[in-house]
Structure formats: C-alpha cells, structure tokens
C-alpha cells in the first residue's frame, strides 16, 4: 500500500516464557496489522534457552571456541522465530520467517559479541509487501565468512534497533513491564518512578539493565528514538536524545469484567485467550447451552451458566457474543447494550439484520459494539476499509466464506459436496446450518456488514446470490472458457460506483492472474478498489477457531486499551448465575 508504515516489534525472553506464550505475541503483531502497519517481529530465544545452549556447547566441547558456541546458541532464536511463524499461521495471519543469513544481516567483530553492519533491506521489504509480517531471529547475524555470530547477551534489542534504523521504521521493545522504571518494579523495595521519556545517557546510567547497553549506544549514535513497553502497552517509555521525564507509576487498573456467551468453535478459543490475560481481565460468566457436553478447552464449573440473558444483562464491562444467529444472540446483545456493556461479536447475521438498531442502542448507552471477526475471520478486512484516510472504496470484491471455498477446493479434488461439507463442519468452519454458507447467505451478510462499515445501507435480501447447485457449478466452470488452470470460487462483490449499491455473491471461474485465485482452503481475501484506482488486497484464514478468536480478542484488547477501568470505580454488580 502506498506509504505503508513499518514497525519493528522486539519480543524478549521475558515475554517468551515458553511456546504457550507465542499466542500472546501473535495478539501484539495482529494489533499492529489491524492498525495498518507492516510488522517486523524480532524474537529472542525462549526464556532460559541461551543459558541451556551455552551449557550444552560446554558439554559437547569444553573450552569450545567462540564461533562454535555462537553456532549452537544461534539455534535458540531460530527455533522461536520458526515456532512464531507456525502460530501466526494457525491464527490466520500470513507471515514470512527470514533467517539472518538469507537477508544479509552481516555482523563484524568477535563471534560472541558482534555488531551488525549490513542488511539487505530490499529482501525484507519484498517479504513485507508479500505477507505484511516478517519474523526475524534476534541476536544472530552472519560473519565475514557467512558463519553464524551473535551480538552479545541481550543482543535481540540491537537486532531490532539496527533493523528499524535500516528500514527507517518505528521500533518498540516489548518486555514484561509496561515501561522503563528506575529499578525493576517486580523486585522488593520502594516503588520506582516510571520514565515517561528517558535520555539515552540517563538510561545507560541505570543499574537495572532492561535494555542491552550496546543497543542503546547504537541508537544514540544515530539519534534513533525507540519505545519500551509491555504487551498491549499504551504508554511506552520513549528512549531518545530528549531530556528525561519521570513520573509516579500509574495506578494499576482493576480487571476488566467480561461475560462470554457461547463456547463453541469460536467461544472456546476466545476463552483460551482471555484466560491468558492474567489480572487484566476477569471472566465473570460463560454462557452455553449444554453444560454436560464434553469440551476440548476446559472452563471452571463456577463460571458456567445457562442463564444467557442474565449473563448478558449483568452490567459487566464487556459482553462477548459467540452464539450465532438472530434469536437468543440478538436478545442477549440488546440486553448487554441496555445494561451499559460494550459488545464484541462475530455474528454477521445479526449485524447485517439489526445494524441500525444495535448501533442506536450502543450510542444511547455510551458503549461500543465491535464486530471485526464478523467479516473475514482472522483477516482484518473491516479495518482495511478504514486504512486510507481521505480516500473511499469504489468496490470490494472477495472470497468471503471459508466453508464454501474449502468445499469448492475439495470438490475439485474429487470429494463429494456432502463429505466436503461434513469435513468443514468438523473443522469448525461452518455455520450451525451450513446451507447458509454454501448458498451465499453468509457472504451476503458479510457484504452488508462491509457496506454498513462504509456508511452505506444494504439489506441481506438485496444481495443477488447463486445457489450452490450442480447446474450453477457447471455454468461457473464453463465460464472459464475451457481454461484448465481456472478455479471456481464463490465471489462476493459490493459495487459502490453507482447511485445505489449493487451486491452479489456468484460462483465464478478465476484465472491465475486474479488476486483471488490463490486463496486455498478456508482462507479469505478481498480486493478493495479505492477512488484513486489503487487496489489493496488483504488475505489470511477466514474461518475456524484460532483465526476467528484472534480477531474477537483483538476487539477485546482494543476496548482494554481505550477503557482501562479506573481502580477507584466500583466494579459492576456481580454476574453470578445459576446453571
């Protein structure tokens, strides 16, 4: 995208306790993608790994030389980078993992304490354009003979600052504290003051080495400002040439109280993520239909309720609706808004049908209703529509239903439609009634939500649809004009060029040059055509537990950043419910 902003995010060992922490890192990366940034994620090894690998090198070869040790310890960052790539993929966020040798990250000096001196920025920028996210192992470079070298303990900070300097990008070090403090706030002793800004020289004088001193000196040599904060941080310390400003630490906000309605493919994934947010969030209730059903993600008995409307109306900070449909889910969302709760929902059927009513209720009660996951699953499509201030989209065209896309691929492989649909249901892609996916109703609802997000009224029954019949499939294939390379996809189109919006969901044969051609399985993508002719494509996984819960959680984290609850205000009344 023209002028796309780049942020380098560095995740240290304090954040990467182990592989389970990778999903926390994914939330942070997804946050910045939603805000329209291309993201370079620089990772340290998992906590304790470097020490373990140094000891391992000594076991293998007592007195091992520096290059030998560097070659062994470099594995730690490469392992965490590759694992992060996998967890980003699971969450539906496309990413490219780039090893330091491949991007010419040269470093000079001793093999255990080298300094970066070169980077092929073209390769990094190409990967950023391709997938939007690149993951690079921190700490590791390659020496004059292409051998692995490392940048000294804490060297991932230096990798991040060096890459940010080379790409002229914003740089944020993400640690296990919300800001830089005079001393480690987790250690006993008097409460330290917090740095609002820290001058490089003052930072270097601190006893607690929160940042690698070599990295701070490098930033100082270039006058490059950088930030330090925690996951979902809102108020980072900026380290720069500016004078130091200290402040008393802010009061810790009370936990955000959240009621979760629905515990199926999406809801259970959301609960898994909420439970990892520690004391930032208190889940007060989990409403579901059948408490006796076995669950693959455990939930404590005392949270479970079948009093869905009671949980919705309990006055908590946020109600998350992951039930689906326009029946009980609609009543629950309205009850939540009336009770003054923000609402997060993945429910496109409800948003398409009751957009005006729900938004009027939200406004009347001073709360928000967010529904990022309702379109595109883990693909930030609704955010893309707002990503070019001063411009408006002329049309939006996309693969908007993961189930149908998956089923069409399976049919092309010779699987029967019935078996393919059953498979999609088992994978958690399909709606409760999968005919809503296959016949285009779900994609039509998503076109309505897209239109509404752009301020254009569109009713679901105004969307022209192709039913999923043998005859329509044959006609779509014939539309390929005999090309054996074409694939049939269900394409939703919203055309805003005329006086009234025109929307359709059609089975269409696409040639390889079409940006929607290479979107396999449950993936979704859309192409936004802007008023200046620019074509913007966003893609990723559009259905399933992890992509969808990523997007729901991103809305929750956004509310947490906007409305961190005041610790002096009493929490909302209790949401204890009978089962």
144 is a contact residue toward ligand NDP (CB under 6 A): no
415 — phi, psi (to 5°)?
-80, 145
Give the residue from 462, 479, 463, 461 showing the smallest Cα distance to 471: 479
Residue with structure tokens 């201030």? 389
**DSSP state for residue 181 in the 8-state scheme:** B
Residue 290 interaction partner, one of ligand NDP, ligand HSE, none, beta carbon < 5-8 Å per kind:
ligand NDP
Instruction: Provide, rounded to whole angstroms, the least separation between the CB of residue 522 and ligand HSE.
Output: 6
Exposure on the CB side of residue 25, measured as CA atoms within 13 A: 37
Give catalytic residues, as residue numbers: 446
How many CB atoms neighbour CB 502 within 10 A?
Answer: 16
Enclosing H/E stretch for 490: strand 487-495
- Considering the complex, state which of residue 159 and residue 445 has its C-beta at the smaller distance from ligand HSE: 445
Residue 108 structure tokens: 């000079």
Instruction: Provide, rounded to whole angstroms, the least separation between the CB of residue 333 and ligand NDP.
Output: 11
What span, in angstroms and rounded, lies between the C-alpha atoms of 9 and 176? 14
Residue 396 structure tokens: 């939006």
Give the residue from 355, 332, 371 showing the smallest Cα distance to 551: 371
What span, in angstroms and rounded, lies between the C-alpha atoms of 437 and 400? 10
Q: Which of residues 491-550 bind ligand NDP (CB under 6 A)?
A: 543-544, 548
Give the residue from 349, 322, 343, 373 showing the smallest Cα distance to 548: 373
**Cβ-closest residue to ligand HSE?**
403
> Is the Cβ–Cβ distance between 107 and 142 less than 8 Å?
yes
Instruction: Report strand pairing: 170-174 vs 226-229.
Output: parallel
Start-end of H helices in 247-327 = 265-275, 308-312
- Considering the complex, state which of residue 196 and residue 415 has its C-beta at the smaller distance from ligand HSE: 415
Instruction: Provide, rounded to whole angstroms, the least separation between the CB of residue 43 and ligand NDP.
Output: 28
How many CB atoms neighbour CB 143 within 10 A?
Answer: 17
Residue 403 interaction partner, one of ligand HSE, ligand NDP, none, beta carbon < 5-8 Å per kind:
ligand HSE
Residue 437 interaction partner, one of ligand NDP, ligand HSE, none, beta carbon < 5-8 Å per kind:
ligand HSE
557 is a contact residue toward ligand NDP (CB under 6 A): no
Instruction: Provide, rounded to whole angstroms, the least separation between the CB of residue 430 and ligand HSE.
Output: 5
Instruction: Provide, rounded to whole angstroms, the least separation between the CB of residue 355 and ligand HSE.
Output: 17
Which residues make up the interface to ligand HSE (CB under 6 A)? 377, 401-403, 429-431, 437, 442, 542-543
Among 44, 232, 347, 405, binds ligand NDP (CB under 6 A): 347
Among 290, 296, 301, 484, binds ligand NDP (CB under 6 A): 290
Binding mask 370-399 for ligand NDP (x = CB under 6 A): ---x---x----------------------
Instruction: Provide, rounded to whole angstroms, the least separation between the CB of residue 362 and ligand NDP.
Output: 18
Q: Which of residues 219-278 bind ligand NDP (CB under 6 A)?
A: 261-267
- Considering the complex, state which of residue 40 and residue 430 has its C-beta at the smaller distance from ligand HSE: 430
- Considering the complex, state which of residue 364 and residue 432 has its C-beta at the smaller distance from ligand NDP: 432
- β-partners of residue 43 are 11, 137
Residue 401 interaction partner, one of ligand NDP, ligand HSE, none, beta carbon < 5-8 Å per kind:
ligand HSE
- Considering the complex, state which of residue 85 and residue 377 has its C-beta at the smaller distance from ligand HSE: 377
User: CA separation (Å) from 18 to 44, 70, 206, 388?
Assistant: 11, 22, 28, 37
Instruction: Provide, rounded to whole angstroms, the least separation between the CB of residue 444 and ligand HSE.
Output: 12
Among 53, 216, 277, 346, binds ligand NDP (CB under 6 A): 346
List CB contacts of 471: < 8 A, sequence separation 6 or more: none
Residue 191 structure tokens: 């409460």
Tell me how many residues contact ligand NDP (CB under 6 A): 28
Contact range with ligand NDP by CB under 6 A, out of 16-24, 286-294, 356-364, 505-513 = 286-294
- Considering the complex, state which of residue 9 and residue 443 has its C-beta at the smaller distance from ligand NDP: 443
Among 97, 228, 238, 328, binds ligand NDP (CB under 6 A): 328
Q: At what angle do helices 545-562 and 265-275 cross, to 10 degrees?
A: 50
455 — phi, psi (to 5°)?
80, 20
Instruction: Provide, rounded to whole angstroms, the least separation between the CB of residue 542 and ligand HSE.
Output: 5
What span, in angstroms and rounded, lies between the C-alpha atoms of 379 and 296? 25
Residue 308 interaction partner, one of ligand NDP, ligand HSE, none, beta carbon < 5-8 Å per kind:
ligand NDP
User: CA separation (Å) from 554 to 137, 278, 320, 371, 548?
Assistant: 25, 16, 12, 10, 10
431 is a contact residue toward ligand NDP (CB under 6 A): yes
**Cβ-closest residue to ligand NDP?**
264
Q: Which residues bind ligand NDP (CB under 6 A)?
A: 261-267, 287-290, 293, 308, 322-324, 328, 346-347, 373, 377, 428-429, 431-432, 543-544, 548
């Amino acid at each position: 995208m023209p002028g796309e902003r780049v942020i380098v995010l560095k995740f240290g060992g304090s954040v990467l306790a182990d592989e389970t922490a990778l999903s926390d890192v994914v939330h942070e990366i997804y946050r910045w993608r939603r805000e329209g940034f291309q993201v370079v994620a620089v990772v340290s090894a998992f906590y304790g790994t470097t020490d373990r690998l140094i000891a391992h090198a000594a076991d293998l070869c007592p007195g091992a030389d520096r290059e030998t040790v560097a070659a062994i310890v470099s594995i730690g960052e490469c392992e965490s980078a590759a694992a992060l790539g996998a967890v980003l993929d699971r969450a539906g966020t496309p990413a490219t993992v780039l090893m330091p040798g491949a991007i010419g990250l040269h470093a000079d000096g001793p093999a255990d304490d080298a300094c970066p001196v070169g980077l092929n920025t073209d390769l990094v920028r190409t990967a950023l354009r391709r997938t939007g996210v690149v993951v690079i192992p921190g700490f590791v470079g390659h020496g004059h003979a292409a051998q692995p070298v490392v940048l000294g303990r804490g060297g991932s900070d230096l990798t991040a600052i060096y890459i940010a300097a080379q790409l002229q990008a914003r740089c944020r070090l993400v640690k296990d504290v919300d800001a830089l403090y005079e001393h480690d706030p987790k250690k006993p002793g008097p409460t330290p003051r917090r740095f609002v800004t820290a001058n490089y020289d003052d930072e270097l004088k601190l006893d607690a080495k929160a940042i690698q001193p070599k990295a701070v000196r490098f930033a100082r040599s270039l006058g490059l400002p950088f930030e330090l904060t925690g996951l979902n941080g809102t108020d980072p310390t900026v380290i720069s040439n500016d004078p130091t400003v200290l402040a008393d630490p802010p009061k810790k906000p009370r936990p955000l109280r959240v009621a979760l309605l629905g515990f199926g493919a999406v809801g259970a994934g959301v609960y898994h993520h909420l439970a990892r947010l520690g004391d930032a969030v208190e889940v007060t209730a989990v409403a579901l239909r059948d408490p006796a059903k076995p669950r693959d993600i455990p939930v404590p008995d005392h949270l479970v309720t079948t009093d869905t409307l009671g949980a919705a109306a309990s006055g908590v900070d946020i109600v998350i609706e992951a039930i689906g449909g326009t029946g009980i889910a609609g009543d629950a969302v309205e009850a939540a808004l009336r009770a003054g709760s923000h609402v997060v929902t993945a429910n496109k059927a409800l948003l398409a049908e009751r957009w005006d009513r729900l938004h009027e209720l939200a406004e009347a009660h001073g709360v928000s209703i967010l529904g990022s996951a309702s379109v595109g699953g883990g693909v930030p499509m609704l955010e893309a529509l707002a990503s070019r201030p001063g411009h408006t989209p002329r049309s939006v065209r996309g693969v908007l239903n993961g189930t149908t896309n998956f089923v069409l691929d399976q049919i092309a492989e010779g699987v029967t439609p019935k078996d393919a649909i059953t498979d999609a249901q088992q994978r958690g892609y399909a709606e409760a009634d999968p005919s809503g996916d296959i016949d285009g109703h779900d994609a039509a609802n998503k076109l309505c939500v897209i239109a509404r997000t752009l301020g254009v009224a569109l009713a679901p029954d105004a969307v022209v649809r192709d039913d999923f019949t043998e005859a329509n499939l044959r006609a779509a294939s014939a539309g390929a004009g005999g090309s054996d390379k074409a694939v049939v996809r269900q394409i939703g189109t919203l055309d805003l060029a005329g006086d009234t919006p025109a929307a359709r969901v059609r089975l269409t044969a696409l040639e390889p040059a079409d940006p929607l051609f290479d979107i396999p399985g449950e993936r979704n993508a859309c192409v936004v055509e802007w008023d200046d002719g620019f074509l913007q494509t966003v893609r990723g996984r559009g259905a399933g537990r992890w992509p969808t819960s990523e997007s729901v959680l991103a809305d929750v984290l956004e509310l947490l950043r906007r409305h961190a609850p005041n610790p002096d205000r009493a929490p909302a009344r209790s949401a204890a419910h009978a089962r």
